[in-house]
Structure 1
C-alpha cells in the first residue's frame, strides 16, 4: 500500500500523473460543491446541493488555469530560476485574470443554467462575483501550489541525500584504496625478510598473503564483512610479522566474545595494527612488545592495542599521520557510534576503540 501511494505521488509515469491530478480535482470539486451547497440553500437541501456541485464543476476550469499556470510556468521558469519579483508579478496577474473569469462564467453559464433548471437566480454585482472568484481561485491554487512545492522539496531532498551517499561512498573507496598499497608494502617486506633468511616459513607466508589478497579483492568490496574474517586477517598479518621479527617480538593476543555473529566495515582495524608494527616494533632496537585485546558483547566491540615505541625526536607526531585515514572512515561509517582514544607517553602507544557495530551508516550501492 505504501509503495502504491509513493508511486502515485512521486512517479512521472503518465498513468500515475493523470491519476493524482484526477484525484486532486475530484477532491476540490467535492469540497467546493459541499461548501457552497450550504451557502445557496433555501429550499430542499438535495436540490441545492445538486446545483452547487454542477456550478462547482463549471468553475473548475478557471481554478485549473490558475493552478497549472503557476505550477508549470511561473515556478519552473521564473521562481526556481531566482527571478522572484518577476514571479510575484506574474502570480498577481494570473490571480486577477482567474478572478475576472468568475463574473463571465456567472453571467454566461451559471445564470442561464439556473433559469433553465428553475432555480432561484441571485443577483450578483461584478464586484462580488469578482471577489468570489478571487477567493475560490486563490484557495484551490494555493493548495495545488503548496502540494507542488512540498513534492519539489521532497524530490530535492532525495536527490541531495543520494548525492551525499555517492560522495561518502566515493570518499570511502578512496580512503579504503589508500589502505591497500600500504598494507601490501608492509606484507611484502615481511615475506622478503623471510626469503632473505631462507626461512622454511616463506611458502606458508606466501599462502597467507594470497588469502589476504583474496579477502581484499572480494570481501572488501562490500560495505560490511563478517567480524570473524576481519579478525582472521589481523591474525594472518600478525603471523607474517612474527616470521619477520622472530624472537625479537613479544606479542599477546586476547579475543573474547562471539565474533562470528557481527559485521564490521572491512579493513577498519588493520591500520592500527600496521601502525603498531611500523612505528613501534620496527623502531625499537631492543625487545619489541605488543598487546592486542578484542572483546565483543552483543553488538558492542572494544578494541585495545598497546605497543612499545621509540620516540622520533625529528617528527614526534609522525605516528598519528598514518591513522588519519581510519579516523575519517570511522567518522563516515559510525557517526556518533564510536569512541577512539589514542594516548602515548615516552615508551608506550595505546589505541582504545569502542564501536557499536549495529549502528553502521550503510551507503547504498
Structure 2
C-alpha cells in the first residue's frame, strides 16, 4: 500500500472515529435510565439514575453496533452511485439507487444485530426493537444524514479536482500555443533578416561581415535567451536596436529612424520578442516597398505600472491599400491575449501616409 492509499484510509478512519464520538455525545441522553430500589428495613424508595460516563459508554456501544449498515450505505454511495450515476448526470437512476442502498443497508444491519451483543433495552417483550418499522425508519434517517455529509464532501472534492484538472489542461494548452507562436516567430524573424543580408551580399557591401556578426547576436538571443519566461526590457531594446542597425546597413540614408526611450526600463521584464515584431512589420510593409525616402519612429515609455510602445512608419504610394499587416502582428496579438488578458491595449491605426501601432501593457 503506497503513501497515498495509506493517507486515504487514515483519513476515513479518523472521520468514522470522530463520527462515533460526536454521535455518542449527542445521543447519550437517550440512554439515561432510572432504577427504583426499595430499602427492606424502611420501605423507602431510592431512585438511581445512570449518569456520564455510563450513558456515554452505552451510547458509544449502540453507535458501534449500528455502524456496519452505515458503512455499507456510505461506501456503496461513494464508490458506485456517485461515480456511476450522479457524476454522469443520471439523476433518476441515482435517486432510485440511493433508495435501494438505504433499504439494503437497513436490512443488513437488522440481520447482523441478530448475532451481535445487543443491549437489553433494545428489546421490547423479548422482541428486538431494531427489526420494527419505527426502528428501521429511524435507522434509515440516520443513514441519510451520514450519507449526505460524506456525499457532499466527495462532490466538493470531485469538482475541485475537475476544476484543477481543467485549469491544468488550459495552462498546458496556453503553454503549447505560446510555444507554437514562438516557433512561428523564429523562422519569420530569420527570413526577414536573411533577406537583408542577401541584399548586402548582392551589393558586395563591406558591411556584410558586420551584419553577419549582428545576426549571430540576434540568433543567440532568439534561440537561447528568448526561451525564458521573460527577459529584461532593456535587453529586448538592445536586440531591437541591433536589428535596426542591421536594416540600416541595407537601406542606408533612404530611411530616417528615430528612437525615443523614457522612464525606467530596468524595472520591467517582458516576454522575449514581444516588441520586435512591430519593428519587423514596419520595415517589411513600410520601408521595404518604398523606392524613395521613408521614415520610422519608435517611442518607448516605461512607467512603474504601465508600458507604452508606439511604432510609426511611413506609407508610400508603392504600398498597396489595405495591405495585410502580416504574420508578425497577428502573432503578437494572440500572444498578448494569452499573456496579458485584460492587461493590455493594442491599437493599429492606418492613415493615408502613416501606419501606427500603439501597445500599452499594465502590471
> Which whole-Å CA distance do the structure 1 matches of 2:295 and 2:329 have between them?
20
1:204 aligned partner = 210
> Which whole-Å CA distance do the structure 2 matches of 1:160 and 1:305 have between them?
38
> Which whole-Å CA distance do the structure 2 matches of 1:185 and 1:256 have between them?
31
2:146 paired with 1:155? no
CA, structure 1 residues 313+196, in 2 after alignment: closer, same or farther (shift >3 Å)?
Answer: closer
Judge conservation of contact 2:290–2:318 (CA < 8 Å) in 1: no
Q: Could you tell which deviates more after superposition, 144-153 or 37-46?
A: 37-46
Q: Secondary structure at the match of 2:53?
A: helix
> Which whole-Å CA distance do the structure 2 matches of 1:211 and 1:113 have between them?
91
2:222 paired with 1:251? no
Q: CA deviation at 1:38?
A: 2.7
Structure 1 gap ranges (5+):
1-10, 116-120, 359-365
2:190 aligned partner = 184
2:17 paired with 1:26? yes
For 2:65, which of 40, 54, 58 is the aligned residue? 58
1:86 aligned partner = 93
Q: CA deviation at 1:124?
A: 6.7
Q: Could you tell which deviates more after superposition, 187-196 or 337-346?
A: 187-196
For 1:97, which of 86, 89, 104 is the aligned residue? 104
> Which whole-Å CA distance do the structure 1 matches of 2:332 and 2:317 have between them?
22
Structure 2 gap ranges (5+):
34-48
> Which whole-Å CA distance do the structure 2 matches of 1:292 and 1:13 have between them?
57
Q: Secondary structure at the match of 1:323?
A: helix
1:16 aligned partner = 7
1:36 aligned partner = 27
Judge conservation of contact 2:289–2:319 (CA < 8 Å) in 1: no
Tell me how large the CA RMSD over aligned residues is: 2.5
Q: CA deviation digits over 1:254-282, x for unaligned, max 9?
A: 11223233211111111111110111111
1:6 aligned partner = none
> Which whole-Å CA distance do the structure 2 matches of 1:311 and 1:24 have between them?
79
Q: Secondary structure at the match of 1:285?
A: coil
2:319 paired with 1:334? no
Judge conservation of contact 2:315–2:355 (CA < 8 Å) in 1: yes
Q: Secondary structure at the match of 2:342?
A: coil
Q: CA deviation at 1:288?
A: 0.6
Judge conservation of contact 1:78–1:86 (CA < 8 Å) in 2: yes
Q: CA deviation at 1:323?
A: 1.5
Structure number with higher helix proportion: 1
> Which whole-Å CA distance do the structure 2 matches of 1:207 and 1:320 have between them?
27
1:167 aligned partner = 173
Q: CA deviation digits over 1:99-149, x for unaligned, max 9?
A: 33454456654644669xxxxx99677111101111111111111111111
Q: CA deviation digits over 1:329-351, x for unaligned, max 9?
A: 10010001101111110000111
Instruction: Answer with 1 or 2: which has the greater Rg.
Output: 2
Q: Secondary structure at the match of 1:268?
A: coil
Judge conservation of contact 2:280–2:328 (CA < 8 Å) in 1: no
Judge conservation of contact 1:103–1:126 (CA < 8 Å) in 2: no
For 1:132, which of 115, 124, 138 is the aligned residue? 138
Q: TM-score, normalised by structure 2?
A: 0.87
Q: Could you tell which deviates more after superposition, 308-317 or 66-75?
A: 308-317
